[in-house]
Amino acid sequence: MDQQVKNASLEAGFHRMTELSRGAPPASLAERLDRLTRLRTAVADNEARFSQAISADFGHRSQVETSIAEVLFVLGEIKHAASHLKRWMAPQRIATQLQFFPATNRLIPQPLGVVGIIAPWNYPLQLTLAPAVAAIAAGNRVMIKPSELVPRFAALLQEVIAAKFDAAEMTVTNIDGDIAQTFSALPFDHLIFTGSTRVGRLVAEAAGRNLTPITLELGGKSPAIVDRSANLDQAAERIAYGKLLNAGQTCIAPDYALVPPNAVDAFAGKLLDNMRRMFGTDPNNTDYTSIISERHFARLESLAQDAAAQGARLLRIASPDEPAWKAQRKFPPTIVVGATPAMKVMQEEIFGPILPVIGCANTAEAIGFINGRDRPLALYWFGTDDTARDNVLSQTVSGGVTVNDCLFHFTQVNQPMGGVGASGIGAYHGEWGFRALSKLKPVFYRSPLNRFADLYPPYGARIARMEKLLRFMS
């Protein structure tokens, strides 16, 4: 099947979904719960196959990381949505202004229609199906475009979803050729993209031509601030884990650490010790994940070498040029001491196991450093000084924050997850996802007993009296 035929098939499938979303009654609570149940079964019954496919696409991916960060996360999202869906779907009572009593207001959630999901490669199961859970819960039909960097996973997902869902309920596209451009140009009722800021801009431009609402989950350089009041051992351990999960290929991984100048060397040493303790020095360690491609592997080494050429000191447990590491595309954990803003490692999102450690004199300097750059997707603060913590929280803007740890704000299903500015637009998770992918339609029910709405002409003394009373009540 050539690309033109594939694109035509994609467009035909989309239009079929659109016709049904407009012509058929909205999905009932029972129908939505059934779809969530089928999705849960699809994930649970194929967990081992998904793990194997993802590992093969990466070169090697820790089975434990796939289980914890992907499978269990998705199953938890499904369970949470199913447990709360009846309440989410119920019309909300909204206060009515006094002058319109005894009229009533309601806010009624309705499905938008067809939701498109352009998924990334770094957590292909979680970042594909978590937004799908929100879309299904909101009663939408779903079309998914997986990443071309995980072809085995994409083929398996296409097979598994096709076995559990009618193509008009949820479908997974192929990943060949220019399908991404065709996909993003479709007039979805909402489009969700997770990926780089650069590609996010292109997706937003394509969606804008159709006035398609978008949720962009992007990335950027997420800082970790180690306050003077912090326990260095604890901070080093937690930042090391947050950085090396999935070998740093995590959009909310700490991208650089700001620490007191007199603690830079000690902290960098503790980081490396913790990295060595967690993942060892053997590239055959099955707990440590490979870099997704040769291109990304070479990009990471280019960042490290650029920093070294400009005077930074690299602390690493091995050289990425060693054959055993290179053959498996496993990039050795690397600490960059003495990074400066002129270095590429401080200009680009790293998205790998490299962590610059930068001296920062105080809280005000840390705030200024962060605010001088694009707003990050995540921010991490370590310490016990409540005043310093609250100053950082109030004077910086980021997608989310974890205090005295990394990553865990993302796992809170009752909290929204989303970026700001260059790190993203919109948010989802739990009820936030349901609301983002619903039309919350305000409805006013006028009472026949109320006369304030009768302001029709001809205007005269009666209208003047009503206007005077309205002014008093406003």
Q: What is the pLDDT of residues 116-136, one digit of tens each?
A: 999 999 999 999 999 999 999
CB atoms inside a 10 Å sphere around CB 269: 16
- Domain residues for the domain of 58 are 3-218+425-439
Low-confidence residues in the chain, pLDDT < 70 = 1, 177, 452-453
- The angle at the Cα of 95, spanning 94 to 98, to the nearest 5 degrees, equals 150
The strand pairing partners of 222, in sequence order, are 254
User: Is position 458 within any domain?
Assistant: no
Note whether 207 and 227 are same-domain residues. Answer: no
Contacts of 231 (CB under 8 A, 6+ apart): 382, 384
CB atoms inside a 10 Å sphere around CB 317: 17
Note whether 209 and 244 are same-domain residues. Answer: no
Confidence (pLDDT) at 467: 81
Catalytically active residues are 217, 251
Confidence (pLDDT) at 452: 65
Contacts of 287 (CB under 8 A, 6+ apart): 62, 64, 278, 279, 280
Domain CATH for 122: 3.40.605.10
For the chain, the straight-line distance linking the first and the last C-alpha, in angstroms and rounded, comes to: 65
User: Is position 267 within any domain?
Assistant: yes
Note whether 348 and 402 are same-domain residues. Answer: yes
Closest CA relative to residue 426, chosen from 442, 437, 413: 437
Note whether 348 and 381 are same-domain residues. Answer: yes
Note whether 183 and 234 are same-domain residues. Answer: no
Closest CA relative to residue 404, chosen from 279, 232, 271, 263: 232
Confidence (pLDDT) at 424: 94
Confidence (pLDDT) at 44: 97
User: Is position 419 within any domain?
Assistant: no
User: Is position 376 within any domain?
Assistant: yes
Helix (H) or strand (E) holding 357: strand 354-359
Tokens 């055959």 belong to: 284
Query: What length does the chain have?
Result: 474
Note whether 98 and 175 are same-domain residues. Answer: yes
Note whether 253 and 174 are same-domain residues. Answer: no
Domain CATH for 338: 3.40.309.10
Note whether 64 and 186 are same-domain residues. Answer: yes
pTM (2 d.p.): 0.94
Q: Are 372 and 379 in contact, with CB atoms under 8 Å apart?
A: no
Which amino acid, 311?
Answer: G
Confidence (pLDDT) at 1: 54
pLDDT tens, position by position, 79-98: 999 999 999 999 999 999 88
Note whether 115 and 45 are same-domain residues. Answer: yes
